Structure 1
Amino acid sequence: MSDLITPNQKLSTIPIAELRKWDIFTSVDDKLLENIRLAYAFGELGFLVTTEDIVYSLGSNRQGCLGIGDSTVTCSVQPVKVDAVCGQCVIDFSCGGNFEYTFCFALTADHRIFAWGRNDCGELGIGYSNTTELSPKLVDLGEIKIAKIASGFGHSLALTADTGEVYAFGRNYRGELGLGDRSDRSNPCKVEGLGSAKIMQISCTAFSSFALTEFGEVYSWGDSENGQLGILQVSENTISTPTKMIIDKPVKKIANGAAHTLALTTDGQIYACGLNSTGQLGTGDDVDRSALTNLGDHWPIFDDICATTQTYQSFAKAGNRAYFWGEIIPGESSYTSPTEMVNNMSNFPSPVTVFNKRQFMHASISVKDK
């Protein structure tokens, strides 16, 4: 489960043409972009890591999310150094929140997490010392090593590298931490009730959480007002402990939008549930589903899916062909069934994946994607 960087990967770079497809990086000079090994875009915020292990941020500094230690800077069009994580061998970024607030994480090759930005509900996992952290702070997990971070609007999950366990922290008023109550946590807490199998993937909607086991079983918990948990009977629209999703095939990947869920099975079919107001389930209509619904076997055999918690959109990949469905222009147009895309990106959302003129990566672009 390790994502350690090899020497060759660290010397490789992401093509400038790929970075230019993301609006946040259009103002960055070619001289810097030609030396980038890792990039991440989250709406009005962007991060870049060079082959020399220098970390830059640019864009909005709302709640200190640039990580530069200065709250007087409201926005930086040009990249600025994030000193606290330079030289730390960052291999991934993850951000949570919405258009009003943002909290950020950087994951290192030796499985540590740095956090900064908004911290009103303990969403950084570093305690309540400040409601806003202007510079990255190390999340104290003792000897526990982390392989992946996933975030919703106010909560986060951390997946351990060696044991495949899940830790949760942050906002919990809809049971999204899976700890059996609705009290916020400002430090990582282990999520129990996930069985004995290793967890291979974690994912979040805005107010829900998901964990995929090594045997293809999926557990979900948190908000299910729109059916996004994939569990038919949910009292008060919430579940505060992990519960198995109902699906008759093993799953190899879960992806989530703001309030919808996609499940990719090992035989390449897609199932979906949750909010469907803009056709983001791909079922050909705009009817919400509380049970995972198969998109049908008339589609290609899919090998990947993705979505982001900031949009009402869905994506899938079949070989070198990419598909999109859901909202195109907010309040104006959408696709209710998978539609083949053109102008595909390296991590496969295209420039059409714009929500309120903002682009969001479902995962960092790395030299490993090339």
Structure 2
Amino acid sequence: MADRNRPFSIEDLPSHLILEILTSGKRLSAADLVSLELTSRTFGGSHGVYPTKFRSLVDLAAFQLCTTNGIYIGMSCSNQREVFGRCDGNWKRVLRFLQSVEQSSAGNMQITTGRYHTLLIKNSSVYSCGSSLCGVLGHGPETTQCVAFTRINFPSPANVIQVSASQNHAAFVLQSGEVFTCGDNSSFCCGHRDTSRPIFRPRLVEAMKGIPCKQVAAGLNFTVFLTRQGHVYTCGTNTHGQLGHGDTQDQPTPKMVELLERVGSVVQIAAGPSYVLAVTDNGVVYSFGSGSNFCLGHGEQQNEFHPRAIQTFKRKGIHVLRVSAGDEHVVAFDSSGYVYTWGKGYCGELGHGDEIDKTLPEHLVSLKSQLAVQVCARKRKTFVLVDGGAVYGFGWMGFGSLGFPDRGISDKIMRPRILDCLRGHGVSQVSTGLYHTVVVTHLGRMFGFGDNERAQLGHDTLRGCLEPTEIFINEMEDEATLLSESR
């Protein structure tokens, strides 16, 4: 009979049960697996489980977690082999890469920067700071500036999972899949038929009721909605065909982009001022809208009224994971972490060491040794977040929004350069506005740099920051304010 008083040890479990613990329930991160492997011989040993393929149970667990990851599943066999090779044949690193890509657009904290404001998701609540006259801050008509991050109240308790903001409006996705918008709706960009006055507090987009969404992207005067089923809807101004319906007719409420429904499931969307990029689950990028500055990636500057696949990627079998639509250029990265840029090259924002426009996507060779997990483009500047948490920046240094204080004889960084001031912080997300930038670390710390004249950095002082300066949110004080208001 077993000794009931003997302490139980996980080492007593059969290896197949230990493996099931590692791969089921709440998914472990790659860092968790590494810690387990280093602290226990139980996890570090192979136990005779596929000894020729995996060095340990942790390696096998990492492999199994990769094969159930949505990004990995969408890759072709050749793309899967390539990323495995890029990660030095280490499944834990492959898993870290995949999870870092997901974390850069989700997680407990998220940031998005508009022209003169910043919005932050923290613990499913949304905060905003900066300046606006049209309601994009979401605090009512009486609030045109928030010096510190202030919580946005929704009509009812809301768990927000994603937010996007442009110059004059913002859109929020709730855990329920509902979408709320606020700001200037004169162009129908908020998805409501009432255009008589700005929407000063978040309002439910009734036309999307019953159509759960997972992402929104705010253009200059239009909005793109991505549903959980992978369908794309658009509304707002359509001067350049940026709504993707084959015409230039404005749409007062969201309407499905039918061509994208026929080509597969869309997994990510990005909106420039007057154009849209959509990435499908098989890594194809479709673009439509304004063709100026070659941002559509087709080698020409004509407008596209229907979504059109970027052939440069298709012909080479490149599986694109994410894209970022800047004001005049685009940056993307693929399933092996390689970075591509195209569009207007003025100020070096394409990172190729010159100021030449790129009419088609071009591989950024100087970053070929790095695995990109997030890219971010705005006017004349670009950031690339790589596996491990380092950030590279290039383009225009104006107002310090690129994070390099040593301007020297030039205000341009022509090739990717690492932000030394963020070394060791482990950045998980980066977002840049017109003249300011904010980053979030894996530990939930926030740093901002650039112009702060309109309080877009959320600092007590309105002075700008040439180097990253930590941003704090007084959540306790905010909770007390909300409680008193509810009474």
TM-score by length of 2: 0.60
Structure 1 counterpart SS, 2:397: strand
User: Aligned equivalents of 2:156 and 2:412: distance in 1?
Assistant: 41
Cα 1:276–1:182, aligned 2, differ >3 Å: closer, same or farther? same
Structure 2: how far apart are the matches of 1:86 and 1:60? 25
Cα offset, 1:128, TM superposition: 3.1
Q: What residue in structure 1 maps to residue 279 of structure 2?
A: 212
1:89 aligns with 2:159: yes
Q: Percent identity?
A: 23
* Native 8 Å contact 1:268 1:301 kept in 2: yes
Question: Matches of 1:245 and 1:369 in 2, distance apart?
Answer: 37
Aligned residue for 1:312? 380
By percentage of residues, which structure has more helix?
2
Whether the aligned pair in 2 keeps the contact of 1:55 and 1:86 (CA below 8 Å) is no
1:302 corresponds in structure 2 to 371
Q: How does 1:37-48 map to 2 (within 5 A)?
A: 38=109, 40=111, 42=113, 43-48=115-120
Mapped partners of 2:294, 2:364: distance in 1: 16
Give the CA RMSD over aligned residues.
Answer: 2.9
**Cα distance in 1, alignment partners of residues 137 and 382 from structure 2:** 28
Equivalent in 345, 354, 357 of residue 288 of structure 1: 357
Partner of 1:67: 138
2:193 match: 127
Superimposed CA distance per residue, residues 207-254 of structure 1 (whole angstroms, 9 cap, x where no aligned partner): 1101101111110011111111010245xx211110011222121111
Q: CA separation of 1:342/1:298 partners in 2, compared to 1, >3 Å: closer, same or farther?
A: closer
| Contact kept in structure 1, 2:171 and 2:218, CA below 8 Å | no
Match of 2:296 in 1: 229
In structure 1, C-alpha distance between the alignment counterparts of 2:112 and 2:265, rounded to whole Å: 30
Where do 1:44-63 residues align within 5 Å? 44-48=116-120, 51=123, 55-63=126-134
Amino acid at match of 1:225: S
Aligned to 1:166: 232
Count of matched residue positions in the alignment of Structure 1 and Structure 2: 321
**Structure 1: distance between partners of 2:125 and 2:270:** 28
Q: Unpaired segments of 5 or more residues in structure 1?
A: 1-5, 7-36
Distance 2:306 2:438 in 1: 29
2:111 touches 2:430 (CA, 8 Å); kept in 1? no
CA offset digits 1:260-305 (Å, max 9, x no partner): 1112122222221111111111121111111111222763132323
Corresponding letter in the other structure for 1:224? G
Which of the two has higher C-alpha Rg?
2
Change (3 A) 1:354 1:64: closer
TM-score, structure 1 length as denominator? 0.78
Is residue 156 from structure 1 mapped to residue 156 from structure 2 by the alignment? no
Is residue 341 of structure 2 the alignment partner of residue 263 of structure 1? no
Question: CA offset at residue 328 of structure 1?
Answer: 1.2
**One-letter code of the match for 1:291?**
L
Q: Is the 8 A contact 1:308 1:360 kept in 2?
A: no
Distance 1:228 1:156 in 2: 18
SS in 1 for 2:278: strand
Aligned partner of 2:96 in structure 1 is: none
Q: Secondary structure at the match of 1:226?
A: helix
The one-letter code matched in structure 2 to 1:242 is P
4+ aligned runs moved over 6 Å, structure 1: 364-370
Give me the whole-angstrom Cα distance separating, in 2, the residues matched to 1:55 and 1:295: 35
Residue identity in the other structure for 1:314: T
